[in-house]
Structure 1
Amino acid sequence: MVNSGGWLEWEAEQARDWISRPQAGDDKYSRGVLGVRTGSKDYPGAAVLGADAAVRTGLGMVRYLGPRRAANLVLQRRPEVVTVPGRVQAWLLGSGINAATRTDAVSTALAEALAEGLPTVLDAGALDLVARAIGPTVITPHAGELATMLANEAKPGSASQIAANAGEWAIRAARLFDVTVLLKGAVTHIASPSGARLTVSTGPAWLATAGSGDVLGGILGALLATHSDQLETDAAALAPLAATAVLLHADAAILASAGGPIAALDIADAVPLAVAALLEHGIDPGQRTTG
């Protein structure tokens, strides 16, 4: 469905084509390896949430490279995660990191990851490094974070102004930073420099909970890793992949909630069911709600 302003509401019929099904001859590398640099001393849980969600979305390997405490917590939750450097096909960077307090070592590690030119999700404490992104990149700010990114630009906007006209600001940011923008909100807007305009508005209000965005980052990172070959030659694939991640996130929340409250790990736990429902028959649209 096309909304006013030319925005396309992303639905299951389109999203299922962007889920990668493993084939009989696949191995963990051909199924996609996601590198993750997230979490911090203050927010180690973000690393757990993103890694857990990525594993559950369906890829071959998650390689977590972050603070020792966060790495230990990730391994306690997901012992299959690898915590030594090596080959990756996409990056998830910044969740649970504070740009104002991150160390020089962390900044250098984030910059080195960006310099590889791989498909990348930039979140939270790595958003200020968007100018260093040389590969296919999706940024995932909420209105307040986008306001911070735009503070020194010719036309800054406050968080309230951005939230009130999210679509226009998403388009502006995509053009300004030359990346795909996933602007989180009650209605999530995805805009690309090439002109893609997608919305997802199916998530329950219960999604507004601590760590929910970290789960979304993990889902999106996994989708980029499983489509890394395509993204090498087709950066336009970023927008539908981002919209599919948002839809899976919303569907997982619907399944986890069943009408009641949820926590971020509940959403991650329900991701495999959301993927299966999307691939096999789709979730009943009557279950989708913004309330």
Structure 2
Amino acid sequence: MVGSWTASDVAGVLRRPTAADDKYSRGVLGIRTGSAEYPGAAVLGVEAAWRTGLGMVRYVGAARDLVLQRRPETVTQDGRVQAWLIGSGTDASARRGDETHALRGILAGDVPVVVDAGALDLVVAATAPVLVTPHAREHARLREALGLPEAHDRAAGSAETAATLGGAVLLKGSETIVATPSGWSTTVDAGTPWLATAGTGDVLGGVIGALVAGAAAGGEVDAEALGPLAASGAWLHGHAARLAAAAAGHGGGPITALDVADALPRAVAEVLARA
């Protein structure tokens, strides 16, 4: 355990674009999220990815029209990506066969994949570098699929899951735990209790996906490298929530998931100013 992740740690992960960059060198994130039942998850993840900073988002999920209404710069055609975000706003029990086939193809690819919610059931067979982002109940189901016993300690359980899976784990909570297969781990404070509201997990996925795509544009990203990227995404997510809550008035106030996404550019700028 390296202790709690800090703004200085995040500053070491973020990269400020230069005059030599283009949209491809800044990272291209593929997003396959959302469903007819939960289309907003796709909108939130796409919004967060753009606002965290990357070169392009390719969205190929079920909420295409809503995504384009909110973020018309999003590309909605298949093409080369440097990382994937999958599963947010989907339900494995309602997933069609063609969607399962597509997700398995992504998980068998050679680019890193951030795996959330309705795609977690497929991750055990993944060969791509993966980061899973479960909450407590999803983590328990994943451990069962991996043949692991019930975990009574969040940190130790996350580390064991990462080692068995061969991928990075981000276990959501008021204190987020991030672990990698080698045994590296850290914690990230949620930032504010106001963050406990619907849709913020979808925003988190977009933040992390953007960071992973940006890193992958500069070189190979394996399961170990996904750990610091995930922790940095969780920290930025929490800091954006603090900024959004503070904007509501003295002492903070209620926020929505889009409020968190809206505050991400400032959160990123504040960290880059420290670098």
TM-score (norm 1): 0.89
The alpha carbon displacement at 1:229 in A equals 4.4
Residue 213 (structure 1) aligns with: 201
Describe the SS at the equivalent of 2:101: helix
Alignment pair present for 1:171 and 2:159: yes
Task: Select which of 106, 113, 117 maps to 1:124.
Answer: 117
8 A contact 2:25–2:218 mirrored in 1: no
Q: Secondary structure at the match of 2:84?
A: strand
Matches within 5 A, 1:53-132: 53-67=48-62, 70-132=63-125
Contact 1:119 1:231 in 2 (8 A): no
CA-to-aligned-CA distance 1:24-82 (integer Å, 9 cap, x gap) = 01111111000000000100000000000000010000000011xx1110001100000
Q: Return the offset for 1:231.
A: 5.4
Q: Which moved more, 1:145-154 or 1:10-19?
A: 145-154
Q: Secondary structure at 1:247's aligned position in 2?
A: helix
Q: Deviation string for 1:156-178 (max 9, x for gaps)?
A: 32xxxx5x621011011101111
Amino acid at match of 2:203: V
Shift of 1:115: 1.9
Q: Which amino acid aligns with 2:108?
A: A
**Structure-2 residue corresponding to 1:286:** none
Deviations 1:208-242 (A, max 9, x none): 11011000000000000000045526542211111
1:37 is aligned to 2:22: no
> Paired residue for 1:18?
13
TM-score (norm 2): 0.94
TM-aligned CA deviation for residue 202 of structure 1: 4.5
Q: Is the 8 A contact 2:44 2:257 kept in 1?
A: yes
Q: Are residue 227 (structure 1) and residue 215 (structure 2) matched? A: yes
Letter in structure 2 aligned against 1:115: A
Q: Distance in 1 between matches of 2:256 and 2:16?
A: 28
Deviation at 1:131, TM superposition (A): 2.2
CA distance in 2: counterparts of 1:223 and 1:275, whole angstroms:
11
1:28 maps to what in 2?
A: 23
Alignment partner, residue 249 of structure 2 = none
For structure 1, the 5+ residue unaligned runs are 1-5, 283-291
- Are the equivalent residues in 2 in contact too, given 1:63–1:85 (CA < 8 A)? yes
Distance 1:187 1:77, change over 3 A: same
Q: Hey, what does 2:177 align to over in structure 1?
A: 189
Aligned residues: 270
Task: Indicate yes or no: 2:238 matched with 1:250.
Answer: yes
Report percent identity of matched pairs.
Answer: 54
Structure 2: unaligned runs, 5 residues or longer = 247-251
Query: Hey, what's the Cα distance between the residues in 2 that align with 1:152 and 1:45?
Result: 28
| Equivalent residues of 1:143, 1:184 under 8 A apart | yes
Aligned pairs for 1:128-143 within 5 A? 128-143=121-136
Retained in 2: the 8 A contact 1:120–1:137?
Answer: yes
1:147 maps onto 2:140 in alignment: yes
**Given the alignment, which residue of 22, 46, 52 partners 2:47?**
52
Is the 8 Å Cα contact of residues 168 and 223 (structure 2) preserved in structure 1? no
Matched position secondary structure for 2:268: helix
